[in-house]
Every structure is written in C-alpha cells, then in structure tokens.
C-alpha cells in the first residue's frame, strides 16, 4: 500500500526592512513624478514585472507612502524574501531603486483536475501572470491569483469548482510542490492501465492497484503509487531513467460531454536504456578505506546498475559509520550518467564528522526490578563508543524477544518509545527508553 504524505498549508513569514532616504525635497506629504524604476538582485524576474507587481507606473505622482505601499505589495506577492528600497531625487522627478532577494519557488502541481493537461492549465496561468514559469512561491498573493485563474479557466469550460492550494511533499522526488486541488471532487478511478504490458499482468502491481481502484481520482495518489511500487521494478533492472507518466484520462465519445464519475486512467511508460555500473570515486574518507566503502556498496564494474542495490549500498555506508559512533557522517553521492555508453558512475563526498560516546541511559515505565534487568542487559558501557547497531539490536530484542532481557520476570508493555540525544559539544549520546 502506498504510504501517505501529510499535506499541510504553509504560511510564509517574510521579514521586511526598508531603507528610507530622507531628503528635504521629498517630505512625507509631497508628491513627485516617478521617472524611473530600477532593481538590484533579480535572478528570474524582470524589472517590468517588478514594476507591475508593485503597482507603480512611470509618470505617476508618488510620495513616501506610495513607495511603502509598493514595497508592501512586493512582499505580499510572495515572490520576494526580502525587499528594501531607496530613492534619488532628480530635477525632473524621482528614481526608485528596489533591492530584492527573490523567494524560493517550487513546481506547481495539479492534483485532481483531469479535464485538462498541465500545459493547458499552465498556459492559462501564464496568460495573466507573465512571470509564471511553472513554479510559484510557497505562499503569497501570486499563489492565490494562480488558484483563482485556474478556477476561472475551469468555469469558462462549464466546470464550477473552487480550487484550493497547499504546499506538499513532491511525490515524484525531493522537495515540495505547490498543489492545486478541488475539495470533494466526485471523480473516481475505475481502472489503471500501463503502456508496458508486463505491468498489466504483474500480480504484485495488480494487487497493489486495489488500493487505488474505486477511490477518488488523485494524481498525487497515482504518482505516489508509481514512485513507491512501480519505479523500483525498473530500478532493479537497471532502467535508471525510466519515465513513468504523467497519468492520462482516455475516454471515447463526445469530448464536450461531462466526464463520467468512474474514469479510466492510462499511464505511459518509457523504460529507456539499461545502465551498467562503472564504479564510485570517494573523497573525504579517512576512517574507512575506499576498499571498505566499495565492499559496502556491493557492486562490481559492468554489473547491471541496480538502482535499489545502490540505494541500499549507500545506506550500508551510513550504518558502517554509525557502527563506530560517527552519527553525524554525511554521505553525498552525485551520479554521472553516460547516455551514449549507458553507464553510471558516482562521485561520493563524505563528511565523517566525529565519534560519539555513550553517556546515560534513561528508562521510564518499568518497575525497579525490570529496570535493573534491562540495565544489566545493556551492552554499551558509559564512556565507550556508541555503536548504533548494538542499540538497534537491543530495540529488536525488546520488541521480539523480551525474555532474553527480562528472563522469567513478567513485564507487560505494548510499545517502547526510544530516542537518542546527541550532545554535539561533548560528543556524547544519551539514550531514552519509554515503556508503555
């Protein structure tokens, strides 16, 4: 069953600082003709787009309050993380200079609007928001505007529905997306078919599909299914760049008629080429040798590049460091694809950090006798290197073989809350176990 992602609306809090030039020629109550708008710090937006967003126009008469209002609009748009401004007086009027730091933008994602393609919805938004490039800030007026424009586009095609937006984890990869969806949409998935016939006959895939069929149409749910259930099938076979989707609605009959409540979904699949492993180059490692790291990866040159095996190999390297107390070790693998030879090679930078030692074990929820038995079974002496593997083995015993710890003492608990609290300054680790 595909895991669920918790979706949460994201409110953007943006600090605003203004640099106000104090000049005798522009008292707060006076008005001066605006002759020029300049900007500093732009990366993707243009000066005309900034001017439009601010509400300022060349030739209009403005005062200090108008400049404040314009700067407020820039902040409220969500497009800028920081806004500062100053101005210069000229004989013929005023020059305003905005010092801007553009805010992070994330991809727009249309969840349960299957009547139209992404291209059609993107074009509708871009027609009214020229700066729109398929990405939006996490919050702000322009996100609300994009939502309203999409709703108007639906209404123009006879569909009356309010579109909501929220920031959510990207179902297709890392980072977040700005999700647009209709609350309470009635469309349901009647079937899901793939262009790769092997998936249509796969017992594993078809069994998992039961979680989608008959449920409300959601591209988010379908993409999560593709990422978690289907992509690993291709990854294991070396199809590292397999393209899955986007899902399509394929209906016969009059395209102008209302969609039926039960809709078939078609997922185009392009497996691409099978890639082979060409090795990994490590840097930053001193504690563990390159030979040890390659052994942990477990792949040999010219093997089929099993994507799942590679992921498991990098996880084994992290565990290898945690085994000797290096809990902060950071593994940064960067892939290089040769699309002509169909090979993959990694450059892996390792920041090993420092080793932690065990300090204190805190136990709650047990009787004094049971706590003593548990402390007697604890295998890491105070002041010794904290071996995370030993800690995890201990947790497994508590969950599956508690008699090996408590022996014949009757101890009853449903679960064990567990935490490790590293003290970076002292390089020690405290362990907390809470029995409930």
pLDDT tens, position by position, 349-382: 999 999 999 999 999 999 999 999 999 999 999 9
For residues 192 and 244, give the distance between their C-alpha atoms in angstroms, rounded to a whole number.
13
Give the pLDDT confidence score for residue 252 in this predicted structure: 60
Q: Are 246 and 314 in contact (CB under 8 A)?
A: no
pLDDT tens, position by position, 96-106: 999 999 999 99
DSSP H or E run through 309: helix 307-323
pLDDT tens, position by position, 130-139: 999 999 999 9
Q: Mean pLDDT, the chain, as a whole number?
A: 90
User: Which of the four CATH numbers 3.40.50.1260, 3.40.50.2000, 3.10.20.310, 3.30.750.24 does domain 357-435 have?
Assistant: 3.10.20.310
Per CATH, the architecture of 276-351 is what? Roll (3.10)
Q: Does residue 257 register a pLDDT over 70?
A: no
Give the pLDDT confidence score for residue 254 in this predicted structure: 52
Give the pLDDT confidence score for residue 161 in this predicted structure: 85
Could you tell me the fold of the domain covering 186-273?
Ubiquitin-like (UB roll) (3.10.20)
- Order of strands, sheet of 428-435, starting from the edge strand that comes earlier in the sequence: 357-364, 428-435, 416-423
Give the pLDDT confidence score for residue 27 in this predicted structure: 40
pLDDT tens, position by position, 207-241: 999 889 999 999 999 999 999 999 999 999 999 99
In this prediction, residues 18-29 reach a mean pLDDT of 42
Q: Which of 5-14, 299-308, 323-332 has the lowest mean pLDDT?
A: 5-14
Give the pLDDT confidence score for residue 249 in this predicted structure: 85
pTM given for the model: 0.78
62 token code pair:
């403005």
Give the pLDDT confidence score for residue 8 in this predicted structure: 34
- The separation between CA 240 and the C-alpha centre of its own chain, rounded to angstroms, equals 20
Q: Does residue 15 register a pLDDT over 50?
A: no
Q: How confident is the model at residue 20 (pLDDT cuts 50, 70, 90)?
A: very low
Q: Which of 41-50, 182-191, 404-413 has the lowest mean pLDDT?
A: 182-191
Q: Does residue 10 register a pLDDT over 90?
A: no
Q: Does residue 26 register a pLDDT over 70?
A: no
Q: How far is CA 392 from CA 133, 157, 311, 395, in A?
A: 46, 57, 20, 5
Give the pLDDT confidence score for residue 253 in this predicted structure: 55
Q: Do domains 276-351 and 357-435 have the same CATH topology?
A: yes
- The separation between CA 290 and the C-alpha centre of its own chain, rounded to angstroms, equals 31
For residues 80 and 82, give the distance between their C-alpha atoms in angstroms, rounded to a whole number.
5
Q: How many residues does the chain have?
A: 436
Give the pLDDT confidence score for residue 320 in this predicted structure: 95
Ranges of each domain in the chain? 186-273, 276-351, 357-435
In this prediction, residues 156-173 reach a mean pLDDT of 91
């Amino acid at each position: 069953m595909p895991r669920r992602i918790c979706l949460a609306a994201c409110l953007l809090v943006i600090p605003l600082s203004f640099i106000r030039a104090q000049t005798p020629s522009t008292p707060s109550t006076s008005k001066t003709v605006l002759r020029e708008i300049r900007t500093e710090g732009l990366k993707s937006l243009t000066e005309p787009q900034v001017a439009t967003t601010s509400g300022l126009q060349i030739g209009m008469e403005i005062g200090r309050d108008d400049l404040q209002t314009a700067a407020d609009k820039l902040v409220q748009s969500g497009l800028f993380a920081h806004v500062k401004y100053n101005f210069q007086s000229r004989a013929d009027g005023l020059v305003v200079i905005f010092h801007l730091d553009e805010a992070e933008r994330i991809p727009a994602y249309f969840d349960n609007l299957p009547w139209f393609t992404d291209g059609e919805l993107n074009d509708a938004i871009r027609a009214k928001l020229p700066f729109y490039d398929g990405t939006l800030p996490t919050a702000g007026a322009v996100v609300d505007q994009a939502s309203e424009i999409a709703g108007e586009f639906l209404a123009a095609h006879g569909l009356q529905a309010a579109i909501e937006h929220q920031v959510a984890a990207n179902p297709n990869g890392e980072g977040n997306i700005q999700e647009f969806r209709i609350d309470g949409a009635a469309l349901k998935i009647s079937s899901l078919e793939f262009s790769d016939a092997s998936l249509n006959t796969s017992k594993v895939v078809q069994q998992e599909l039961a979680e989608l069929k008959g449920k409300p149409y959601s591209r988010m749910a379908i993409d999560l299914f593709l990422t978690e259930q289907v992509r690993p099938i291709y990854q294991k076979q070396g199809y590292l760049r397999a393209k899955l989707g986007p899902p399509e609605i394929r209906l016969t009959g009059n395209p102008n008629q209302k969609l039926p409540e039960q809709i078939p979904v078609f997922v185009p699949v392009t497996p691409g080429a099978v890639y082979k492993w060409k090795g990994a180059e490590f840097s930053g490692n001193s504690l563990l040798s390159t030979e040890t790291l390659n052994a942990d990866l477990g792949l040999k040159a010219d093997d089929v590049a099993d994507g799942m095996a590679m992921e498991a190999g990098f996880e084994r390297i992290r565990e290898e460091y945690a085994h000797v107390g290096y809990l902060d070790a950071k593994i940064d693998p960067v892939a290089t694809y040769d699309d002509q030879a169909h090979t993959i090679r990694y450059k892996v930078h390792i920041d090993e950090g420092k080793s932690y030692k065990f300090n204190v074990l805190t136990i709650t929820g047990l009787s004094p006798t049971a706590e003593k038995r548990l402390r007697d079974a604890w295998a890491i002496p105070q002041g010794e290197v904290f071996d995370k593997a030993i800690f995890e083995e201990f947790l497994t015993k508590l969950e599956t073989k508690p008699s090996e710890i408590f022996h014949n003492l009757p101890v009853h608990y449903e679960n064990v809350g567990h935490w490790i609290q590293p003290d970076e300054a002292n390089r020690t680790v405290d362990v907390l176990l809470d029995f409930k």
